Structure 1
Amino acid sequence: MTDIITAQATAAASGAAATEQFRNKQRQEAAAADTGRVDALVTELLTSAHDIIRRHGLTYAEYDALKAWLIRVGEDGEWPLFLDVWVEHVVEEVANENREGTKGTIEGPYYVPDAPALPAEAALPMREDEAGTALLFQGQVTGVDGTPLPAAKVEIWQADDEGYYSQFAPNLPEWNLRGTVIADETGHFKIHTIQPAPYQIPTDGACGSLIQAAGWHPWRPAHLHLKVSAPGHRLITTQLYFRGGEYVTDDIASAVKPELILDPTPVADGTGHEVTYDFALDKA
């Protein structure tokens, strides 16, 4: 990981870090595949691809361009980015369609487990001169019936004021703007951080080539990432956005939901913003 942190902030460097994190996750969570499900899903996926080829009269030049692009996605390590930006939001929608509590959305490629544990009121690790508007993000974790969940775990990670994530860009401290906050005995937490900035997904690799060729924009709105959990309850993975922010209405990753938009207000002493957002967890 050290070599990745000190590398340039390129698509390839970011992709390598995301791929490494995903492989670590797979080693911990790998489950046996059901051959019947694999057969059904892959057959239907290929059948859909065949239908697209026939309907649009795909040429060999276009087919060869597709092959070259797919090869480049692998070489750039951008499969995690590609899948998380253009596919994951539908997987999340299906996986969480029966939840009663807080809405979820995509995890994205920049999660790192085991962020430093912090008390119920804490400042996220950050540089002494961390740029950006100060933000107090506070709330309570309960069950869907409103019962407080003591010592609930609130994992939070975010981009900095320039749109970069620690461990995926150079010159950032390892755990910058990442932490695992343990709520108090009533499920309350207060997190002092900075308001993140919108950012472009990496555009110097294969995904950037696709964006340019299709005439899309590469931007994600400013957001906080969270995983919230408590014993006996289902973990929720989500992101929270900022009302009126750029790209909230046309997120490249299609991950914004109305229930996940924050309305920060100025702090009385003028030192930044504050916002309250509560989490309701479903029973496991």
Structure 2
Amino acid sequence: MSETSYAEETEARAAESGKNATDLFRQRVSGVGAADPARVSRLASRVIQAINDTVIKERVTYDEYNALKAWLIRVGEDGEWPLFLDVWVEHSVEQVANDHRAGSKGTIEGPYYVPDAPEQPWNGTIPMREDEPGRPLVFQGQIRGVDGAALAGAKVEMWHADNIGFYSQFAPGLPEWNLRGTFIAGEDGRFEIHTIEPAPYQIPTDGACGQLIAAAGWHAWRPAHLHLKVSHPGFELLTTQLYFPGDPHNDDDIAAAVKPELILDPQPRSDGEGYEARYDFVLDPQ
């Protein structure tokens, strides 16, 4: 990676990343239908009541209240509502959405998913720069239904950060589809994806979310992970992340998304070229 692209990439700013996340989210949910008014009333009333209960129990002052208002305004100005909600709320929504599954565990999607990544064969290489830095990783496995039958032609969407913790389309200096790909499993449901091992990273800290993290004395780290969406007609879409053993933030991920079942077991490749890891996905029928 050239000095210029490295310098450009590390110039990523929360407001720019936040705007991209907000714009992509709006595009994806533009066709969502109206919610049930009774359900909206129930949920909104509970959230508002919880806020008011906190104000009374904690004896919130006007200075604290005005600081909250100013911060909420900045979250919107920075475009960081997708980041805020995906980091601190989505893990609970995911738990409710997937508590019925008998197949593989899911976890949060996060704010950096982009649909329609370039399609690759079952044993392809994820789009990357010619000089992409990082330790080579071959990620492979099989996709089956809960009955054990292989799911030929299943789709595996994968995206992840590069080896300094940035995502394409959310940081400057990166090709549009860098480290983003869609892989079509073979007739036996198998896939083999050639990529590099991602780095742990901090969520953006120069915007409103970073302001909250600093004020609360929290850390901003996410452990290294691969993002995946696995799908096949007639089966429930699985959205998940896979993590690497030994990462110090597996136990205190700011997004609370790590589950023991999602830890990989990478092993050195026999040719000495990096590592390989296997993970099989089991999908639930719709």
User: Residue 138 of structure 2 corresponds to which residue in structure 1?
Assistant: 136
Q: Which runs of 5+ in 1 are unaligned?
A: none
Distance 2:233 2:27 in 1: 24
SS at match of 1:126: coil
**1:6: Cα distance to partner?**
9.2
User: Residue 12 of structure 1 corresponds to which residue in structure 2?
Assistant: 15
User: Residue 24 of structure 2 corresponds to which residue in structure 1?
Assistant: 21
User: Residue 101 of structure 1 corresponds to which residue in structure 2?
Assistant: 103
TM-score scaled by length of structure 1: 0.97
Q: 1:246 aligns with which of 245, 248, 252?
A: 248
Any residues of structure 2 matched to 1:57-72 within 5 Å, and which? 57-72=59-74
User: Residue 38 of structure 1 corresponds to which residue in structure 2?
Assistant: 40
2:176 alignment partner AA: E
Distance 1:143 1:72 in 2: 45
**1:31: Cα distance to partner?**
1.7
Distance 1:282 1:266 in 2: 32
Matched residue count = 279
Distance 1:24 1:273 in 2: 37
**1:169: Cα distance to partner?**
0.3
Distance 1:109 1:56 in 2: 31
- What root-mean-square deviation, in Å, do the aligned CA atoms of Structure 1 and Structure 2 show? 1.2
Say whether the 8 Å CA contact 2:9–2:166 is kept in structure 1.
Answer: no
SS at match of 1:225: strand
Q: Do residues 161 (structure 1) and 141 (structure 2) align?
A: no
Any residues of structure 2 matched to 1:71-82 within 5 Å, and which? 71-82=73-84
**1:246: Cα distance to partner?**
2.7
User: Residue 260 of structure 2 corresponds to which residue in structure 1?
Assistant: 258
TM-score scaled by length of structure 2: 0.96
1:16 alignment partner AA: K
**1:7: Cα distance to partner?**
11
Distance 1:208 1:64 in 2: 18
Distance 2:146 2:218 in 1: 39
Q: Alignment identity in percent?
A: 65
For residues 45-92 of structure 1, give each alpha carbon's deviation from its aligned partner in whole angstroms, at most 9, with x where no partner exists: 111111100001000000000000000000000000000000000000
Distance 1:263 1:244 in 2: 10
1:134 alignment partner AA: P
User: Residue 192 of structure 1 corresponds to which residue in structure 2?
Assistant: 194
2:208 alignment partner AA: A
For residues 89-126 of structure 1, give each alpha carbon's deviation from its aligned partner in whole angstroms, at most 9, with x where no partner exists: 00000000001101000000000000000000001010
Say whether the 8 Å CA contact 1:133–1:194 is kept in structure 2.
Answer: yes
Q: Which runs of 5+ in 2 are unaligned?
A: 1-7
Distance 1:100 1:8 in 2: 43
